[in-house]
Amino acid sequence: MTTGGTAALVRRPEGSARATLLELLFDVVFVAALAMVSKLIAERGSWAGTAPVLLTLAAIWWTWSVTSTTTEFYDPEQRPIQAILMVAMVGSVGMAAALPMLSAGHAMVFAIAYVTTHVVRGVVLVTTLHRQRHRAAMERATRFLFWFVVSGVFWISGALVGAPHWGLWTVAIAIDLVSAAVRYPMPWLGRVPLQQYDRTTEHLGERYQQFVILALGDIILVPTLEVSRTHFDRFRLTALLCAFATMLLLWQIYVFRAGRLLKAGADTSRAARLAPYTHLVMLAGVVGTAASFDLVAARPTGTTPVRWLMLIIGGPVLFVLGRLLFTWLVAAVVPWRRLVWLLLPLLVLPWAGGWPPLLAAVIVALALAGAALVPASNRRATIPRLRMRRPED
């Protein structure tokens, strides 16, 4: 039930950890934007054309991550937070719609959609918390707003000439990522206190898991759309089955391993601060994997171009490496067995260029099956040695 704006905006630690229906709708909108990113990567003819797409991926992901942090710290049942979610959904639609035509005059649409989402969120939070006389939470929101205004100058400036100025946009996304890493320092206010990160509950872990699971669906969605526009034969059917198997294996690796760290961590502050960066690596892996199967479904036979091969192997490897990095940084555990299985597709890399794209994809799927399904000899290598700490009021 939606409550009025007069209730306390800051989430109570003992509140429900379940995501609201509006949050789930918010996820679906962003996953659609990720599918667009995968299609653009598949269509690019060189890595030079792929790099700008990855920069926009970071911007789309950062919008989701910061907005989800907002619904973790503030009550998503409150009308101001629901308004923030709706604005973020509109912003994501604007960013996704502008992606295919960034170089043809739509850069300003993307920049305005991104900057407006973050600035509106900050203004709504600061004004609402000021009325409620919640000083600590208002200072937190002010820090976020300050740095998004700073980066917004570079986002807008980089779009003034019509086509994106990628140098300015790189500075802009770097400001967003680095300011979060150093806890949004601001003159007179300092940094966000670590105690505020300690308030992290199981809600945030559930939000990350839900989003990654939805994003993994793009691995089968993108090639299915491609097959629907071409002649359907046994090779393309095999490509779709391989995409489905890869999706399930990556789901197995994430949900039963890395996802637990977000909602069962002794150091919730550390997990909450590291999750956006390590999950960005995983998300890049998902996007690359979906793009690779778009290519494989279009032409499963013949020789495999180098760029295709790097996507076919690099996408899943990047996802698993992001998961391993998160486990290592949060739990101080390195699952060496998974690293060994990742060597299988890398070992065949020198010869795979002469193989059909479908064969290369099958080999990667077999390596993932070994990493996900073969039992570990050391239980501690896969089960996090962490326990939940109850957030303090």
Tens of pLDDT, residues 310-330: 999 999 999 999 988 888 887
Given this model, what pLDDT does residue 385 score? 33
What is the phi-psi region of residue 332: left when phi exceeds 0, alpha when psi lies from -120 to 50, beta otherwise? left
Kindly report which listed range (6-10, 106-110, 122-126, 139-143) carries the lowest average pLDDT score: 6-10
Q: Please give the residue that has the higher pLDDT: either 330 or 178.
A: 178
Give the pLDDT band of residue 14 (cuts 50, 70, 90).
Answer: low
Across the range 239-266, mean pLDDT stands at: 76
With a CB cutoff of 8 Å and minimum separation 6, the contacts of 153 are none
Given this model, what pLDDT does residue 387 score? 35
Given this model, what pLDDT does residue 94 score? 92
When mean pLDDT is compared over 41-55, 110-124, 127-141, the highest value belongs to 110-124
Mean per-residue pLDDT over the chain, rounded: 85
Q: Please give the residue that has the higher pLDDT: either 274 or 83.
A: 83
Strand partners, 78: 3
Give the start-to-end residue ranges of the domains of the chain.
Answer: 21-197, 202-381
Given this model, what pLDDT does residue 392 score? 37
Terminal Cα-to-Cα distance of the chain (whole angstroms): 24
Nearest of 246, 244, 245, 282 to residue 262 by alpha carbon: 282
Given this model, what pLDDT does residue 256 score? 61
With a CB cutoff of 8 Å and minimum separation 6, the contacts of 197 are 268, 269, 272, 273
Given this model, what pLDDT does residue 381 score? 40
Given this model, what pLDDT does residue 268 score? 63
DSSP state of 254: I
The residue type found at 93 is V
Q: For 356-368, give one letter per residue: b (16+ CB within 10 A) or e.
A: bbbbbbbbbbbbb
Tens of pLDDT, residues 226-241: 888 888 889 999 999 9
